[in-house]
Amino acid sequence: MTAVIVKAARVGLQSEIDVVAARRAVTQWAGDMGLSILDRTKTVTAASELARNTIVHGRGGTMSMEMVRDGSRSGLRLTFEDQGPGIPDIDRALQDGFSTGGGMGLGLPGARRLMNEFSVRSGTGTGTTVTVVRWKP
């Protein structure tokens, strides 16, 4: 079954102020759909990491938020898109400790662990799209 979009919005990601706005929006939506405190925290943390990656590595982009329903379950789907340089080696980028920006290398693999679903598409010179979903238990 394909998830049905119940509600949708977009947040532009160009600066650290936009990361704060993205965190606030995700916190609000996760609360509105009744996610537990733990699931809200995981979702907001993943969103923060991915928003920051979009700005730092992707040179800015957008975060799309969608409340979705798939059969009897509901969830929050977040999609981060940029038109940056892309990720040349996705498998390597998903390894703990790998970083091209001098950080701790926890962004992508950390976000993957925090969410129920995780996918990344990227091409050199064509940008990156990361989609994550947190399902309400």
- In tens, the pLDDT along 56-73 reads 999 999 999 999 999 999
Domain count, the chain: 1
CA distance 56 to 77: 22
Lookup: tokens for 101: 């920006």
65 Cβ neighbours under 8 A, 6+ residues apart: 8, 9, 10, 11, 25, 26, 29, 76, 77, 78
Domain that holds residue 47: 4-119+128-135
- 73-82 and 4-13: which strand pairing? unpaired
pLDDT in tens, 99-110: 555 544 458 999
pLDDT at 60: 97
User: What integer pLDDT is reported at residue 92 of this predicted model?
Assistant: 85
CATH of the domain at 36: 3.30.565.10
Cβ neighbors of 119 (< 8 A, separation 6 or more) are 130, 131, 132
**pTM of the entire predicted model:** 0.92
What pLDDT, in 10s, does the model give residues 10-37? 999 999 999 999 999 999 999 999 999 9
- pLDDT value, residue 86: 93
